[in-house]
Amino acid sequence: MKNDYDKKLWLIKKVKTSKLEKFKMISQEYCNKAISGVITKYQVYDVKSLEKLDSNISGVYIIFSLDLGNNLKFSYIGESKDIKKRWKSHINNYKNSKPAAKKLIYKEKDLNNIRFAILKQEEDQNKRLKKETYYIYQFRSKFTNINSKLANMKMRCDFGHGVKKTYLTYDKNKAKFRLYIFGVCKNKQCNNKFIIS
């Protein structure tokens, strides 16, 4: 059983991290399913309807676009204490071809095709950073996700120290296969491992 789970974890990591063409289709299918869930569950905005969003909403968000076949072209996960303001910043960077929007422009040539959704409203910054990391892992793909990092270095462990790394694994003591994302504290005396969910 453990060997089967090890193989399953290895395959999931390959699909999420490999640029090899043989993993592209399964990565695309997984990402399509994930974005379909977002579209079904959350309010989706475009550049024009963005004005309807209230200001000063804190939380975690996704920016994405779909092709004509409803395949995910790209996803970007972010967090902010004012999501509307942050989205407007992304739009201005895009319009002005700023370096910060380079990957976005490469993946989507038409600003009107870009969509936005709030994945989680959260006031607490550390909880936002953990949830941002969770969603980055969920949408991780070398073919569609444009996040440059898995975790923001402002994230803190359960005792307030910085985070050295994050990783994907499963609970070897459980009969059922379930993925978990862990963070590891960079403080050597603390060395706290904590679940990111």
What confidence tens digit (pLDDT) does each residue in 81-138 have? 999 999 999 999 999 999 999 999 999 999 999 999 999 999 999 999 999 999 999 9
The total of structural domains in the chain comes to 1
Q: Is the pLDDT of residue 66 over 70?
A: yes
Q: Is the pLDDT of residue 3 over 90?
A: no
What confidence tens digit (pLDDT) does each residue in 34-58 have? 999 999 999 999 999 999 999 999 9
Range of the domain at 139: 2-196
Q: Are 182 and 166 in contact (CB under 8 A)?
A: yes
- Which CATH number goes with the domain that contains 153? 3.40.1440.10
| Angle in degrees, CA 109, 20, 130, rounded to 5 | 70
The neighbour count for residue 176, using CB atoms within 10 Å, is 7
